[in-house]
Amino acid sequence: MNLFRSAALNARVLLTAPVREVRNRWMQKQLASPMFVPFYHRVADTHPNDWTISCHQFERHVNYCESRFDLIGLDELQRRVEQKDSPRPSVTFSFDDGYAENCDFALPLLAERGIPCIYFVAIDHLQRQIPFPHDCEAGVPLAVNTLTQLREIAAMGIEIGLHTRNHVDFSKVTDQRTVHHEITNAKQELEQMIGSRVRYFAFPYGLPAQLTRVAIDAVYESGMEGFCSAFGGYNTVGRDSFHIRRFHGDTCFARLQNWLSFDPEKLRREPAIDYRIGHGASAREFGRVNSEALPV
């Protein structure tokens, strides 16, 4: 993001702050405060790229959220959504992929402060110590977590989730046997690896094209309690709680502030994700909400 766009966004956040504050107070009175789930990949001060944030920037994010929001786990987020009981805006930190450097600063920071976090890993990369293809293509094969690190992460109190076996793109994979191998079998193996239940799944890439019905069915039938997308979205009371919407923990602080101050226009622009879960369930559009009920 260039300096001009960053300055313009920062100015917009400041100018609209009074209106957003009024809206957020109204939502709190209605027990309808939004629930935010930023996702990160790698926190490190070396090899900066689009999926890396520096230690200083990440700590700034944590400090900002800790001072302004309830910090909750995904189970509490789902409870608030289902019971329409969200008295204060909340944040849940999440990580995708499984980079080794996250154990140097980011995860210890969250653990020391007792901040809930869910850490999604692609298990084949971890087991075989294979760098991710996008890192190899960039000429920097970054280290992934080891099994020992993963168990240490779990021992810190950080929840471990599944990010498939091979970081697969489900917009290109529809064969049920492959989907089963990447989700159901991988979930069982991950549970054996960490010695505890795996409750949540995060789609690699996480855009609408990847959120296929066959893959969502596999998540549900495996016994997991929900899946995370990554196309940029809000969790609000009364939505479907099985689909947890996330946005990128951006290195541009003004963009992060913009997401965390709640923008109804973003809600209106969210794509609809259609799927069926449960026996005899009918198709439902879970991507949209009645945003007209929100103050503008």
Segments making up each domain of the chain, as ranges = 3-293
| DSSP string computed for 13-53 | HHHHHHHHHHHHHHHHHTTB--EE-EEESEE-SSS--TTEE
What stretches of the chain adopt beta strand conformation (E)? Answer: 35-36, 38-40, 42-43, 52-53, 70-71, 90-91, 93-95, 117-121, 159-162, 200-202, 226-228, 243-244, 247-248, 274-275, 284-285
Query: pTM of the predicted model, to two decimals?
Result: 0.91
Indicate the residue type of 87. Answer: P
One digit per residue, pLDDT tens: the chain, 296 residues?
566 666 676 676 677 777 778 888 999 999 999 999 999 999 999 999 999 999 999 999 999 999 999 999 999 999 999 999 999 999 999 999 999 999 999 999 999 999 999 999 999 999 999 999 999 999 999 999 999 999 999 999 999 999 999 999 999 998 999 999 999 999 999 999 999 999 999 999 999 999 999 999 999 999 999 999 999 999 999 999 999 999 999 999 999 999 999 988 888 899 999 888 765 443 333 433 444 444 44
Report the helix count and the strand count for the chain, using DSSP H and E: 12, 15
CATH class held by domain 3-293: alpha beta
Residues forming beta bridges with residue 43, ordered by sequence position: 53
On whether the CB atoms of residues 198 and 192 are closer than 8 A, the answer is no
- Backbone phi and psi for residue 149, each to the nearest 5 degrees, phi listed first: -60, -40
- Going from the C-alpha of 240 to that of each of 86, 202, 278, 287, the distances in angstroms are 15, 16, 13, 8
